[in-house]
Amino acid sequence: MIVGVPKETFPGERRVALVPTLVPLLSKASLDVLVESSAGTAAGFPDSVYADKGARVVETRGQVFSDADVVLQVRTPGAAGESGCNDLALLQQSQTLIGFSEPLAEPATARAVAKRGVTAFSMELIPRITRAQSMDALSSMATIAGYKAVLLAAETLPRMFPMMMTAAGTITPARVFVVGAGVAGLQAIASARRLGARVEAYDVRPAVKEQVESLGAKFVELPLETSVSEDAEGYAVAQDESFYRRQREMMARVVAGSDVIITTALIPGRPAPVLVTAEMVAGMEPGAVVVDLAAERGGNCELTQADKTIVQQGVTILGPTNLPATVPYHASQMYAKNITTLLLHLITDGMVAIDLDDEITRGTLISHDGNVVHPRVQELLQAAESSR
């Protein structure tokens, strides 16, 4: 069986789905690896290193798709924007496709992939269970995003993060407020603490308080009641607008006293909740910085614009949408480990086997035998058809 790795074509995407060090692992499983020329160059992995590890490097993208039984990508159609549409025509009947695909945001593309007869697995939908931790690409990429968000904030803020005792006097530490204590938020807390900032954090899930405090940050407690704060997989669930309104009112004081706000709140398959309003930004001191890691889904800050830097009343709002791609070497290493582990999990006797009794296979499978088979994606498609 041949595993193909095409070059990523989404603008600004510098990651690659497979790194050279993992080629021997696939070879050991009787899989041949085919890599499009320069697929790993932007991430720091030249063609020669792939060849040295046993991969076959080919010049054309078309050959990767035509020869491969399994295609590994960072961004498959659905997550690759307009550039992903070109790959739809290259997909082959009975081919297996694995990567980020945004199936809950782009269900129509999932159906288009299904119509090509492709068996597609989505890396976003890896269940958060113990035996799937090594496949959890969302957590891997969130770790990088949380780290890089702090570096962006530190670079933009017109003051230093740590407290310093100098001959010119004492420099007080920067005050950082992290909203959302998932993987990205916890990494942001840890990174800001390493740089010497005084860190506070808030999450709708009270259970994360211990994790926040273990990293040396103060957990901001807001007296808000909610019946359900997270789903069975540990993700925060959406609340009603009255909850978010009360939450914003109570957060305003903390926001006003912060030099840096890093927001990370996302609800799978839904627009990001607005947690920081324009009025709250206006209450911040000039020079303050907001880094909104939810920018791709509309942003947690009312003023955020995706991939743009906005200055409002002296406050800088950054809306990066793909921070892992700015650290492509390690992001590729981590993602490649995730996707390779999933691939090997799916293979039996050298072939991809669809075992719907397996929670990992069932949870990530989007399309098979010409149909969209994932229940949540099916529901979205049915809802779209009924609204016409």
141-195 per-position pLDDT tens digit = 999 999 999 999 999 999 999 999 999 999 999 999 999 999 999 999 999 999 9
Q: Which of 205, 229, 235, 329 is catalytic?
A: 235
Dist CA 342 CA 351 (whole Å): 13
39 with 164, same domain: the answer is no
Output the 3-class SS for 249-270.
HHHHHHHHCCCEEEECCCCCCC
Q: Among 281, 303, 321, where does a domain finish? A: 321
* Angle at 216 (CA atoms; ends 212, 219), nearest 5 degrees: 40
CA 354 to chain centre: 26
Judge if 165 and 194 occupy the same domain.
yes
Q: Domain with 9 in it: what CATH number?
A: 3.40.50.720
310 and 198 co-located in one domain: yes
Assess whether 334 and 310 both reside in one domain: no
Residues 216 and 67 in one domain: no
- pLDDT number for residue 236: 56
Examine the domain organization and report whether 239 and 379 are in the same domain: no
- pLDDT tier at 68, thresholds 50, 70, 90: very high
Output the CA torsion sign for 333, 338, 339, 341: positive
- Same domain (yes/no): 247, 357: no
133 catalytic? Reply is yes
Q: What is the pLDDT of residue 97?
A: 98
> What is the reported pLDDT for 43?
98
Q: Which of 30, 133, 313, 382 is catalytic?
A: 133
User: Does residue 82 lie in a domain region?
Assistant: yes
Q: Among all chains, which residue has been given the structure tokens 């793909």?
A: 322
Residue range 2-46, pLDDT digits in tens: 999 999 999 999 999 999 999 999 999 999 999 999 999 999 999
Residue of 139, 229, 305, 378 marked active site: 139
* Domain boundary pick from 289, 321, 353: 321
> What domain range is 218 assigned to?
139-321
Distances (CA, A) of 260 to 14, 177, 198: 28, 6, 10
pLDDT category of residue 384 using cuts at 50, 70 and 90? confident
Q: Catalytic annotation on 139?
A: yes
Residues 154 and 190 in one domain: yes
Q: Give mean pLDDT, residues 231-249.
A: 65
pTM for the predicted model, two decimal places: 0.92
Catalytic entry in 47, 69, 87, 136: 136
283 phi, psi to nearest 5 deg: -85, -5
- How many folded domains does the chain comprise? 2
Task: Spot the catalytic one: 56, 128, 205, 362.
Answer: 128
Q: Residue 91 domain-assigned?
A: yes
Name, in order, each residue with C-beta under 8 angstroms of 288's C-beta and a sequence gap of 6 or more: 157, 258, 259, 260, 261, 314, 315, 316
Q: Give yes or no for residue 229 having a pLDDT over 80.
A: no
